[in-house]
Amino acid sequence: MAYQEKQLQEISGKFQIYGQIQHAEMLKIGHINETYTATYDQGGTRVRYIHQKINQNVFKNPTGVMENVMRVTTHIRRKYEAASVSNVTRRSLIVIPTRDGKSFYQNGDREVWRTFVYVEGVETYESVQSPQQAYQAGKAFGEFQHQLVDLPGDRLIETIPDFHNTRKRFTALQQAIQKDEHGRVDSARKEIDFALSKESIVDVILNEMASGTIPERVTHNDTKFNNVMLDVLTGDAMCIVDLDTVMPGCALYDFGDMVRTTTSPTLEDELDLSKVKMQMPMFKKLAQGYMTTAGNFLTQAEKAHIAFSGKLITFEIGIRFLTDYLSGDTYFRIHRAGHNLDRCRTQLKLVESIERQETAMQKFVDGL
Protein backbone atom coordinates (compact mmCIF):
# COMPACT_ATOMS: atom_id res chain seq x y z
CA MET A 1 0.00 0.00 0.00
CA ALA A 2 1.58 3.25 -1.13
CA TYR A 3 2.16 6.05 1.36
CA GLN A 4 -0.76 8.45 1.62
CA GLU A 5 0.11 11.71 3.36
CA LYS A 6 -3.42 12.41 4.60
CA GLN A 7 -3.70 8.95 6.13
CA LEU A 8 -0.39 9.25 7.97
CA GLN A 9 -1.33 12.72 9.23
CA GLU A 10 -4.40 11.12 10.79
CA ILE A 11 -2.44 8.22 12.26
CA SER A 12 0.20 10.54 13.75
CA GLY A 13 -2.43 12.35 15.82
CA LYS A 14 -3.47 9.16 17.58
CA PHE A 15 -0.19 8.78 19.51
CA GLN A 16 1.34 10.73 22.38
CA ILE A 17 3.59 12.77 20.12
CA TYR A 18 3.55 16.50 20.68
CA GLY A 19 4.42 18.47 17.61
CA GLN A 20 3.54 18.80 13.94
CA ILE A 21 4.44 16.05 11.49
CA GLN A 22 6.60 17.59 8.77
CA HIS A 23 7.62 14.74 6.54
CA ALA A 24 7.46 10.98 6.21
CA GLU A 25 9.33 8.44 4.14
CA MET A 26 8.48 4.81 3.56
CA LEU A 27 11.23 2.37 4.50
CA LYS A 28 11.67 -0.37 1.93
CA ILE A 29 13.62 -2.74 4.16
CA GLY A 30 11.84 -5.75 5.57
CA HIS A 31 9.55 -8.24 3.91
CA ILE A 32 6.46 -7.99 6.11
CA ASN A 33 5.24 -4.74 7.70
CA GLU A 34 4.65 -1.28 6.23
CA THR A 35 7.08 1.14 7.88
CA TYR A 36 7.56 4.92 7.80
CA THR A 37 10.13 7.30 9.23
CA ALA A 38 8.23 10.44 10.31
CA THR A 39 9.83 13.78 11.19
CA TYR A 40 8.12 16.12 13.65
CA ASP A 41 8.73 19.72 14.69
CA GLN A 42 8.79 19.81 18.49
CA GLY A 43 9.49 23.31 19.74
CA GLY A 44 11.78 24.02 16.85
CA THR A 45 13.66 20.73 17.11
CA ARG A 46 13.30 18.01 14.51
CA VAL A 47 12.45 14.69 16.16
CA ARG A 48 11.88 11.41 14.35
CA TYR A 49 9.58 8.49 15.08
CA ILE A 50 8.74 5.21 13.39
CA HIS A 51 5.12 4.57 12.38
CA GLN A 52 4.41 1.01 11.37
CA LYS A 53 1.35 -0.84 10.15
CA ILE A 54 1.33 -4.46 11.26
CA ASN A 55 0.73 -6.96 8.47
CA GLN A 56 -2.26 -8.89 9.77
CA ASN A 57 -2.02 -11.45 6.99
CA VAL A 58 1.16 -12.61 8.72
CA PHE A 59 0.43 -11.64 12.33
CA LYS A 60 -3.11 -12.84 12.95
CA ASN A 61 -3.04 -11.72 16.58
CA PRO A 62 -1.65 -8.15 16.64
CA THR A 63 -2.81 -7.69 20.23
CA GLY A 64 -0.63 -10.65 21.23
CA VAL A 65 2.26 -9.27 19.21
CA MET A 66 2.13 -5.98 21.07
CA GLU A 67 1.68 -7.65 24.44
CA ASN A 68 4.92 -9.57 23.83
CA VAL A 69 6.73 -6.47 22.56
CA MET A 70 5.72 -4.46 25.63
CA ARG A 71 6.74 -7.18 28.08
CA VAL A 72 10.11 -7.75 26.44
CA THR A 73 11.12 -4.11 25.89
CA THR A 74 9.98 -3.09 29.39
CA HIS A 75 11.93 -5.94 31.00
CA ILE A 76 15.12 -5.20 29.06
CA ARG A 77 14.92 -1.46 29.70
CA ARG A 78 14.45 -2.01 33.45
CA LYS A 79 17.50 -4.27 33.57
CA TYR A 80 19.61 -1.70 31.74
CA GLU A 81 18.41 1.04 34.06
CA ALA A 82 19.14 -1.06 37.15
CA ALA A 83 22.66 -1.65 35.86
CA SER A 84 23.07 2.09 35.11
CA VAL A 85 23.81 1.33 31.46
CA SER A 86 24.32 4.47 29.36
CA ASN A 87 22.26 5.20 26.25
CA VAL A 88 19.27 3.21 27.55
CA THR A 89 16.92 4.85 25.04
CA ARG A 90 19.19 3.66 22.24
CA ARG A 91 19.62 0.14 23.62
CA SER A 92 16.01 -1.06 23.53
CA LEU A 93 13.00 -0.05 21.46
CA ILE A 94 10.55 2.34 23.14
CA VAL A 95 6.89 2.07 22.22
CA ILE A 96 4.99 5.38 22.12
CA PRO A 97 1.50 4.88 23.59
CA THR A 98 -1.67 6.10 21.95
CA ARG A 99 -3.61 9.05 23.33
CA ASP A 100 -5.67 6.63 25.41
CA GLY A 101 -2.64 4.78 26.73
CA LYS A 102 -2.65 1.69 24.51
CA SER A 103 0.35 0.18 22.78
CA PHE A 104 -1.25 0.36 19.32
CA TYR A 105 -4.03 2.12 17.41
CA GLN A 106 -6.67 0.37 15.35
CA ASN A 107 -8.55 2.52 12.84
CA GLY A 108 -11.94 2.11 11.21
CA ASP A 109 -10.45 -0.02 8.46
CA ARG A 110 -9.18 -2.37 11.20
CA GLU A 111 -5.58 -1.50 10.37
CA VAL A 112 -3.24 -1.81 13.35
CA TRP A 113 -0.58 0.89 13.79
CA ARG A 114 2.17 1.29 16.38
CA THR A 115 4.84 3.92 16.95
CA PHE A 116 8.43 3.69 18.21
CA VAL A 117 11.02 6.27 19.18
CA TYR A 118 13.46 6.56 16.28
CA VAL A 119 16.92 5.45 17.35
CA GLU A 120 19.36 8.08 16.14
CA GLY A 121 23.05 7.71 15.35
CA VAL A 122 22.80 4.10 14.21
CA GLU A 123 22.83 2.26 10.92
CA THR A 124 21.90 -1.16 9.64
CA TYR A 125 23.37 -3.22 6.83
CA GLU A 126 21.71 -5.68 4.54
CA SER A 127 24.89 -7.78 4.55
CA VAL A 128 27.84 -7.98 6.92
CA GLN A 129 30.83 -5.81 6.01
CA SER A 130 33.54 -7.12 8.34
CA PRO A 131 34.34 -9.82 10.91
CA GLN A 132 33.98 -7.19 13.64
CA GLN A 133 30.40 -6.55 12.57
CA ALA A 134 29.75 -10.30 12.75
CA TYR A 135 31.18 -10.27 16.28
CA GLN A 136 28.87 -7.41 17.28
CA ALA A 137 25.83 -9.18 15.86
CA GLY A 138 26.59 -12.38 17.74
CA LYS A 139 27.23 -10.50 20.96
CA ALA A 140 24.02 -8.45 20.61
CA PHE A 141 21.67 -11.35 19.98
CA GLY A 142 23.37 -13.41 22.71
CA GLU A 143 22.82 -10.54 25.14
CA PHE A 144 19.20 -10.22 24.01
CA GLN A 145 18.58 -13.89 24.82
CA HIS A 146 20.45 -13.57 28.10
CA GLN A 147 18.37 -10.56 29.18
CA LEU A 148 15.20 -12.60 28.70
CA VAL A 149 16.24 -15.77 30.51
CA ASP A 150 14.52 -14.44 33.64
CA LEU A 151 11.50 -12.81 31.96
CA PRO A 152 8.76 -12.98 34.63
CA GLY A 153 5.14 -13.94 34.08
CA ASP A 154 3.37 -16.39 31.85
CA ARG A 155 4.79 -17.94 28.71
CA LEU A 156 4.89 -15.44 25.84
CA ILE A 157 2.22 -15.69 23.16
CA GLU A 158 3.21 -17.56 20.01
CA THR A 159 2.68 -14.78 17.49
CA ILE A 160 3.22 -17.20 14.60
CA PRO A 161 2.60 -20.74 15.84
CA ASP A 162 5.18 -23.29 14.65
CA PHE A 163 7.28 -20.51 13.15
CA HIS A 164 10.48 -22.58 13.25
CA ASN A 165 8.83 -25.99 13.10
CA THR A 166 10.99 -27.31 10.30
CA ARG A 167 8.90 -30.45 9.87
CA LYS A 168 5.77 -28.39 9.22
CA ARG A 169 7.70 -26.13 6.86
CA PHE A 170 8.88 -29.21 4.99
CA THR A 171 5.34 -30.60 4.84
CA ALA A 172 4.07 -27.25 3.51
CA LEU A 173 6.66 -27.46 0.74
CA GLN A 174 5.55 -30.99 -0.16
CA GLN A 175 1.94 -29.82 -0.34
CA ALA A 176 2.84 -26.81 -2.50
CA ILE A 177 4.71 -29.11 -4.89
CA GLN A 178 1.78 -31.47 -5.10
CA LYS A 179 -0.78 -28.71 -5.72
CA ASP A 180 1.36 -26.65 -8.11
CA GLU A 181 -1.44 -24.11 -8.20
CA HIS A 182 0.56 -21.59 -10.24
CA GLY A 183 2.34 -23.98 -12.58
CA ARG A 184 5.79 -23.17 -11.21
CA VAL A 185 7.10 -26.60 -10.23
CA ASP A 186 8.93 -27.19 -13.51
CA SER A 187 10.80 -23.89 -13.17
CA ALA A 188 12.08 -24.91 -9.72
CA ARG A 189 12.75 -28.61 -10.27
CA LYS A 190 16.44 -28.45 -9.34
CA GLU A 191 15.71 -26.61 -6.09
CA ILE A 192 12.83 -28.95 -5.25
CA ASP A 193 14.99 -32.06 -5.73
CA PHE A 194 17.74 -30.64 -3.53
CA ALA A 195 15.28 -29.66 -0.78
CA LEU A 196 13.58 -33.04 -0.72
CA SER A 197 16.95 -34.79 -0.47
CA LYS A 198 17.65 -33.08 2.88
CA GLU A 199 14.65 -34.43 4.81
CA SER A 200 16.93 -36.23 7.29
CA ILE A 201 17.97 -32.96 8.96
CA VAL A 202 14.44 -31.65 9.46
CA ASP A 203 13.61 -33.25 12.84
CA VAL A 204 16.99 -33.18 14.61
CA ILE A 205 16.43 -30.17 16.90
CA LEU A 206 12.67 -30.77 17.14
CA ASN A 207 13.38 -34.22 18.59
CA GLU A 208 15.93 -32.82 21.05
CA MET A 209 13.41 -30.24 22.28
CA ALA A 210 10.62 -32.82 22.51
CA SER A 211 12.83 -34.98 24.75
CA GLY A 212 13.80 -32.00 26.90
CA THR A 213 17.49 -32.26 26.02
CA ILE A 214 17.35 -28.79 24.47
CA PRO A 215 15.21 -26.30 26.47
CA GLU A 216 12.63 -23.84 25.25
CA ARG A 217 13.70 -20.22 25.68
CA VAL A 218 12.48 -16.72 24.88
CA THR A 219 14.04 -15.98 21.51
CA HIS A 220 13.96 -13.36 18.76
CA ASN A 221 13.25 -15.81 15.92
CA ASP A 222 14.28 -13.43 13.13
CA THR A 223 17.95 -12.68 13.76
CA LYS A 224 18.86 -11.27 10.38
CA PHE A 225 21.93 -9.07 10.42
CA ASN A 226 19.84 -6.05 9.44
CA ASN A 227 17.92 -6.38 12.72
CA VAL A 228 20.98 -5.19 14.64
CA MET A 229 21.51 -1.43 14.83
CA LEU A 230 25.18 -0.44 14.97
CA ASP A 231 26.48 2.86 16.32
CA VAL A 232 27.70 4.98 13.42
CA LEU A 233 30.78 6.17 15.33
CA THR A 234 31.94 3.12 17.28
CA GLY A 235 30.43 0.28 15.24
CA ASP A 236 29.15 -1.27 18.47
CA ALA A 237 25.74 -2.97 18.48
CA MET A 238 23.16 -0.74 20.14
CA CYS A 239 19.67 -2.06 19.63
CA ILE A 240 17.85 -5.18 18.44
CA VAL A 241 14.77 -4.42 16.33
CA ASP A 242 11.91 -6.25 14.60
CA LEU A 243 10.46 -7.86 17.72
CA ASP A 244 7.21 -9.20 16.26
CA THR A 245 8.44 -12.78 16.37
CA VAL A 246 9.86 -12.66 19.92
CA MET A 247 8.21 -15.66 21.54
CA PRO A 248 8.97 -19.11 22.96
CA GLY A 249 11.59 -20.80 20.81
CA CYS A 250 15.05 -22.33 20.63
CA ALA A 251 18.30 -20.42 21.11
CA LEU A 252 19.82 -22.46 18.30
CA TYR A 253 17.30 -21.17 15.78
CA ASP A 254 18.40 -17.63 16.56
CA PHE A 255 22.06 -18.50 16.15
CA GLY A 256 21.35 -20.45 12.98
CA ASP A 257 19.70 -17.44 11.37
CA MET A 258 22.70 -15.33 12.32
CA VAL A 259 24.93 -17.79 10.48
CA ARG A 260 22.63 -17.52 7.49
CA THR A 261 22.68 -13.73 7.34
CA THR A 262 26.17 -12.79 8.55
CA THR A 263 28.61 -15.34 7.15
CA SER A 264 27.96 -14.94 3.41
CA PRO A 265 29.19 -11.81 1.61
CA THR A 266 26.01 -11.53 -0.46
CA LEU A 267 22.46 -10.31 -0.05
CA GLU A 268 19.78 -12.89 0.56
CA ASP A 269 18.59 -12.61 -3.05
CA GLU A 270 22.01 -12.65 -4.78
CA LEU A 271 21.73 -13.69 -8.43
CA ASP A 272 25.38 -14.68 -8.89
CA LEU A 273 25.47 -17.90 -6.88
CA SER A 274 29.24 -18.21 -7.29
CA LYS A 275 29.54 -15.44 -4.70
CA VAL A 276 27.46 -17.28 -2.08
CA LYS A 277 29.60 -19.01 0.54
CA MET A 278 29.95 -19.47 4.29
CA GLN A 279 33.07 -17.52 5.25
CA MET A 280 34.88 -19.18 8.14
CA PRO A 281 36.47 -15.93 9.46
CA MET A 282 32.99 -14.41 9.72
CA PHE A 283 31.62 -17.49 11.44
CA LYS A 284 34.45 -17.51 13.99
CA LYS A 285 33.86 -13.88 14.98
CA LEU A 286 30.09 -14.42 15.06
CA ALA A 287 30.47 -17.45 17.33
CA GLN A 288 32.96 -15.64 19.57
CA GLY A 289 30.61 -12.69 19.99
CA TYR A 290 27.63 -14.92 20.68
CA MET A 291 29.41 -17.09 23.22
CA THR A 292 30.66 -14.07 25.19
CA THR A 293 27.06 -13.24 26.11
CA ALA A 294 25.18 -16.52 25.67
CA GLY A 295 27.83 -19.04 26.69
CA ASN A 296 27.00 -18.87 30.39
CA PHE A 297 23.39 -19.99 30.04
CA LEU A 298 23.52 -22.39 27.09
CA THR A 299 23.47 -26.12 27.88
CA GLN A 300 26.00 -28.57 26.48
CA ALA A 301 23.36 -29.97 24.13
CA GLU A 302 22.73 -26.49 22.71
CA LYS A 303 26.45 -25.84 22.28
CA ALA A 304 26.89 -29.18 20.49
CA HIS A 305 24.42 -28.15 17.76
CA ILE A 306 25.78 -24.65 17.07
CA ALA A 307 27.21 -25.41 13.62
CA PHE A 308 24.31 -27.65 12.65
CA SER A 309 21.84 -24.89 13.49
CA GLY A 310 23.32 -22.69 10.75
CA LYS A 311 22.70 -25.37 8.16
CA LEU A 312 19.21 -26.16 9.44
CA ILE A 313 17.86 -22.61 9.56
CA THR A 314 19.38 -21.67 6.22
CA PHE A 315 17.66 -24.74 4.79
CA GLU A 316 14.39 -23.86 6.52
CA ILE A 317 14.37 -20.30 5.16
CA GLY A 318 15.28 -21.63 1.74
CA ILE A 319 12.29 -23.96 1.63
CA ARG A 320 10.02 -21.21 2.94
CA PHE A 321 11.05 -19.00 0.01
CA LEU A 322 10.53 -21.96 -2.30
CA THR A 323 7.10 -22.74 -0.86
CA ASP A 324 6.04 -19.11 -1.20
CA TYR A 325 7.23 -19.03 -4.81
CA LEU A 326 5.25 -22.18 -5.65
CA SER A 327 2.20 -20.80 -3.80
CA GLY A 328 2.07 -17.50 -5.67
CA ASP A 329 4.19 -15.20 -3.47
CA THR A 330 1.63 -14.66 -0.71
CA TYR A 331 3.91 -14.24 2.32
CA PHE A 332 7.19 -12.50 1.51
CA ARG A 333 7.04 -9.15 -0.22
CA ILE A 334 8.60 -9.42 -3.68
CA HIS A 335 10.12 -6.72 -5.91
CA ARG A 336 10.44 -8.62 -9.16
CA ALA A 337 9.17 -11.73 -10.90
CA GLY A 338 10.77 -14.87 -9.49
CA HIS A 339 12.15 -12.98 -6.50
CA ASN A 340 11.32 -15.72 -3.99
CA LEU A 341 12.92 -18.35 -6.23
CA ASP A 342 16.08 -16.23 -6.38
CA ARG A 343 16.05 -16.02 -2.59
CA CYS A 344 15.56 -19.77 -2.36
CA ARG A 345 18.52 -20.49 -4.64
CA THR A 346 20.80 -18.30 -2.55
CA GLN A 347 19.81 -20.10 0.66
CA LEU A 348 20.26 -23.58 -0.76
CA LYS A 349 23.67 -22.68 -2.15
CA LEU A 350 24.65 -21.47 1.32
CA VAL A 351 23.41 -24.77 2.81
CA GLU A 352 25.89 -26.59 0.57
CA SER A 353 28.72 -24.31 1.67
CA ILE A 354 27.91 -24.75 5.38
CA GLU A 355 27.67 -28.51 4.97
CA ARG A 356 31.19 -28.69 3.57
CA GLN A 357 32.57 -26.78 6.57
CA GLU A 358 30.26 -27.98 9.34
CA THR A 359 32.79 -30.20 11.12
CA ALA A 360 35.40 -27.41 11.26
CA MET A 361 32.76 -24.92 12.43
CA GLN A 362 31.71 -27.09 15.36
CA LYS A 363 35.30 -27.87 16.30
CA PHE A 364 35.97 -24.14 16.60
CA VAL A 365 32.91 -23.60 18.82
CA ASP A 366 33.89 -26.55 21.03
CA GLY A 367 37.22 -24.84 21.64
CA LEU A 368 35.73 -21.56 22.86
177 domain residue, yes or no: yes
214 domain residue, yes or no: yes
Q: Secondary structure of 239-293 in the HEC alphabet?
A: EECCCCCCEEECHHHHHHHHHHHHCCCCCCCCCCHHHCCCCHHHHHHHHHHHHHH
Look up the CATH number of the domain holding residue 245: 3.90.1200.10
26 domain residue, yes or no: yes
Q: How does residue 331 score in pLDDT terms, banded at 50, 70 and 90?
A: confident
334 domain residue, yes or no: yes
Question: Letter for the amino acid at 121?
Answer: G
38 domain residue, yes or no: yes
CA distance 338 to 326: 10
The CA R_g of the chain, rounded to the nearest whole Å, is 21
126 domain residue, yes or no: no
142 and 275, same domain (yes or no): yes
102 and 22, same domain (yes or no): yes
160 and 295, same domain (yes or no): yes
125 domain residue, yes or no: no
Per-residue model confidence as pLDDT tens digits over 269-298: 999 999 999 999 999 999 999 999 999 999
193 and 330, same domain (yes or no): yes
115 and 139, same domain (yes or no): no
Q: What is the pLDDT of residue 96?
A: 97
168 and 82, same domain (yes or no): no
State how far Cα 286 lies from the chain centre: 16
204 and 317, same domain (yes or no): yes
109 and 183, same domain (yes or no): no
When pLDDT is averaged across residues 137-156 and rounded to a whole number, the result is: 97
Look up the CATH number of the domain holding residue 37: 3.30.200.20
Per-residue model confidence as pLDDT tens digits over 340-365: 999 999 999 999 999 999 999 999 99
184 and 329, same domain (yes or no): yes
Per-residue model confidence as pLDDT tens digits over 67-79: 999 999 999 999 9
In terms of pLDDT, which residue wins out, 12 or 154? 154
Which of 120, 155, 173 is at the close of a domain?
A: 120
108 and 143, same domain (yes or no): no
Least confident of 55-64, 132-141, 180-189, 308-317: 55-64
Q: Which residues constitute the domain of residue 39?
A: 5-120
184 and 113, same domain (yes or no): no
Domain count for the chain: 2
Task: Give the count of beta carbons closer than 10 Å to the beta carbon of residue 226.
Answer: 18
348 domain residue, yes or no: yes
Contact in structure between 348 and 315 (CB atoms under 8 Å): yes
Q: How does residue 3 score in pLDDT terms, banded at 50, 70 and 90?
A: low
Q: What is the pLDDT of residue 1?
A: 42
77 and 139, same domain (yes or no): no
Which of 67, 100, 120 is at the close of a domain?
A: 120
Q: How does residue 30 score in pLDDT terms, banded at 50, 70 and 90?
A: low
Q: Which pTM was predicted?
A: 0.90
Q: What angle do CA 118, 143, 240 make, to 5 degrees?
A: 20
